[in-house]
Amino acid sequence: MKLKITLSFIALSLAVTLLLLLPGRGGDEAGIITVKVYDSSSVQVVDADYTFDGDDTLYTVLNEHHDLRVSGSKSDLYGRVFLGIDDVVTDFNTTFIYIEIDGEEARHGIDYLPLYDGAIYTFTVKTVD
Amino acid sequence: MALRRMIILAMSVTILFVQEQALMFIPNVQFTVALLVVYASIFTYKENMILIFVYVILDNLYMGTFSPFYLMPMLIAWSLIPTVYHFLLRRTTNEKKLACFGLVFGFVYGWVFIPFHMIQTGIHTWWPYLLADLPFEIIMATSGFLTILWTYQPLYRLMRSEMAKLEHQFDTAYTLAKK
């Protein structure tokens, strides 16, 4: 019995620690974000500030101001895959859009990325190695 | 297969399905892994495969995910429980060994879906799927570990005694019917 309790405690502690270490979705209720888009030649094609509120996702904010290309739907297990914005288009197999939030690599897609007031969302076209 | 075994299998699928639906509000927290390990200990390999096939079909019909991209990985993943139990774990009833298997299975279950999602979305990069699924895998692994550790032995004993009782009832009824 003692061993079972110890094992259960270890398993639960490990799970909670791992879940806390994983980046959460979080985000702010409302604010302004800066969006920067770089094409395959590293030329900046978008540099704009957009407002958001509690109901918005990065997808809805971008979709309001730009022509987006996505694969799948929000109801998909991992949300939509972001393939292009205006004239910047990728196919995800040879090129893809690399997303950064304040210079840090994003861990989710555009449906699930948290929106932080004052954060800079950078989209860069990259080639698959 | 004897009718009595078919009835017991049907009842087992019902328990499996109902508990999963009842615990649906907590993602990946369920007794499915523990119950399938108990079933693997009670039923033959063939019976387990039939049980899993019926359960997967029923679950996907009910959840509206009746597509090969969900059916196939679910069939493969759940079939791993009786397969590993019968051929790798050599029908052990040691709950600590089985709990460790439940822990590993939580992660393996998620990994089985990756190639099917890659085909479905046409995006042939595996790590985003792995990363996105990691929190759910951790929850499923922990839930599998704890439920097997605490419920395997009592459920196994209960099921064995109930099976014996049912077999006896069937035999009595059969004898009376013959007379």
pLDDT of residue B87: 92
- Choose among A14, A15, A93: nearest Cβ to B124: A93
Nearest Cα of chain B lies from the Cα of A19 at a distance, in angstroms, of 6
pLDDT of residue A76: 63
What is the ipTM for the molecules in this complex?
Answer: 0.71
DSSP for chain A, written as a single string? -HHHHHHHHHHHHHHHHHHHHS------SSEEEEEEEE-TT--EEEEEEEEE-TT--HHHHHHHHS-EEEES-TTSTT--EEEEETTEE--SSSEEEEEEETTEE--S-TTTPPP-TT-EEEEEEEE--
| B135 vs A contacts (CB less than 8 Å) | 19, 22
Kindly list the structural domains of chain B, giving each domain's residue range(s) and its CATH number in brackets, ordered by start. Answer: 3-178 (1.10.1760.20)
Interval A24-78: pLDDT, tens: 556 788 899 999 999 989 999 999 999 998 788 899 999 999 999 998 877 665 6
User: Is-above-0.90 flag for pTM?
Assistant: no
pLDDT of residue A75: 63
* Chain B CB within 8 Å of residue A76 CB: yes
Interval B52-106: pLDDT, tens: 999 999 999 998 888 899 999 999 999 999 999 999 998 899 999 999 999 999 9
Contact check, Cβ <8 Å, A81/B99: no
Kindly list the structural domains of chain A, giving each domain's residue range(s) and its CATH number in brackets, ordered by start. Answer: 31-127 (2.170.130.30)
pLDDT at A91 over 80: yes
* Chain A CB within 8 Å of residue B138 CB: yes
pLDDT at B113 over 70: yes
